[in-house]
Amino acid sequence: MRTPTPSVYIRGMGVYMPERRLTNADLERLVETSDEWIRTRTGMVERRIAAPEDSTSDLGTRAAEKAIVDAGISKEDIDLVIVATVTADQTFPSTACKIQAKLGLRTDIPAFDMIAACSGFVYMMQVANHMLRAGDYKNVLIITAEKLSSIVNWEDRSTCVLFGDGAAAFVLTKCNEPYVGILGNILGADGSQGDLLTLPAGGSMNPASYETVRNKEHCLTMAGNQVFKIAVRTMSECCVRLLEKCNVTADQIKWVIPHQANMRIVDAVARQIKVPLEKFCINIEKTGNTSACSIPICMEETYRAGKIQPGDLVLLTAFGGGFTWGATLIRWK
């Protein structure tokens, strides 16, 4: 298979994880749960919690600074900023505009947010890929940043044990080498089931009121059991379709980097797409579910550990609120 040039590849990566660790033992003191339940039902052991004074744009800015240095370019070389988050600092101005200002980037470049919840990274990869291929851009800064601790209901044991904070940033760049970088991408969405995983209040449909605050409607809610089954099906289906589309067989894949929502979801996807679990990169025990950040945080960690080499085929897949889902195939440059 040949991708038409220009190709779009990952030139630099940066991750920022907050210092504070929230362990399963800490959660046992907050709600009626147990370390044993959380480990066996989710695979999670601890997650990071951002400092109260840090907003999502602070987390994203720190990750972005590292990514720009890692890419070996200067801030002036960035010509587009996209941020995927469900915990924007505010509805507007966008978190992308805030990060642009905090980094001191040029002002003759666009900056915008996009919402695809936990699928935000694979959605953003596709948007950046096409904007780079079609447009005048050379270096695009894509950032995922989440302060999920700010929208978690700390009295709801079915959700509060699952989520953590973090940020990751990648610099994507155009090059003329064929068949490297992003080889293909498949995305999907089903808005008809959106209420199964949602932040009920605060928007135009249900504006903030004393009642919405009292009822904790500014916190996320999830019908975990139903979400679980749809996540397994959609992630598996889009991986299989993407491999077919790219004319790649499952055994050619070096690594699969899945969204880290639940270890049992990862297990089930591995069985469905017939890729051994040993090829799946997992860091869920340390991070919990960091929404759009989970794939890039895990990818950066896998790369820094020396496990991803030039030429390796890496498959990413995610599922999230919306519902949204997707898969991306990368040949490492």
Ligand X SMILES: CC(C)(COP(=O)(O)OP(=O)(O)OC[C@H]1O[C@@H](n2cnc3c(N)ncnc32)[C@H](O)[C@@H]1OP(=O)(O)O)[C@@H](O)C(=O)NCCC(=O)NCCS
Q: Would you give the binding string for ligand X spanning residues 173-212, x where CB under 6 A is met? A: ------------------------x---------------
Residues 131 and 174 sit within 8 Å (Cβ to Cβ): no
Q: Is 195 helix (H, G, I), strand (E, B) or coil?
A: helix
Q: Minimum distance between the CB of residue 308 and ligand X, rounded to whole angstroms? A: 25
CA–chain centroid gap for 203, Å, is 23
Among 126, 139, 149, 262, binds ligand X (CB under 6 A): 262
Exposure string over 103-129, b if 16+ CB within 10 A, otherwise e: bebeeebebebbbbbbbbbbbbbbbbb
Q: Is 118 a catalytic residue?
A: yes
Q: Which residue is nearest to ligand X (CB)?
A: 224
The backbone torsions φ and ψ at residue 222, rounded to the nearest 5 degrees and listed phi first, read -150, 135
Sign of the Cα pseudo-torsion (217, 95, 132, 175, in order): negative
Can 259 be counted among the known catalytic residues? yes
* Rounded alpha-carbon distances, angstroms, from residue 312 to 145, 175, 230, 281: 27, 18, 29, 14
Confirm whether 283 is a catalytic residue: no
Mask 269-308, x = binds ligand X (CB under 6 A)?
Answer: --------------------x-------------------
Candidate list 24, 139, 219, 259, residue with the active-site label: 259
Minimum CB distance to ligand X, residue 173 (Å): 30
Report if residue 148 touches ligand X, rule: CB under 6 A. no
Work out which of 20, 21, 39, 41 binds ligand X, going by CB under 6 A: 41
Task: Return the number of the residue (169 or 231) whose C-beta is nearest ligand X.
Answer: 231
Count the site residues for ligand X by CB under 6 A: 21
Q: How far is the CB of 157 from ligand X (least distance, A)?
A: 4
Report which secondary-structure segment, H or E, holds 315: strand 313-320
CB-CB contact of 320 with 291 (8 Å): yes
Q: How far apart are the first and last CA of the chain?
A: 16
Examine residue 258 and tell whether it contacts ligand X (CB under 6 A): no
Closer by beta carbon to ligand X, 235 or else 281: 235
Structure tokens at 85: 């988050």
* Binding positions for ligand X, rule: CB under 6 A: 33, 37-38, 41-42, 118, 157-158, 161, 197, 224-225, 227-228, 231, 261-262, 265, 289, 319-320
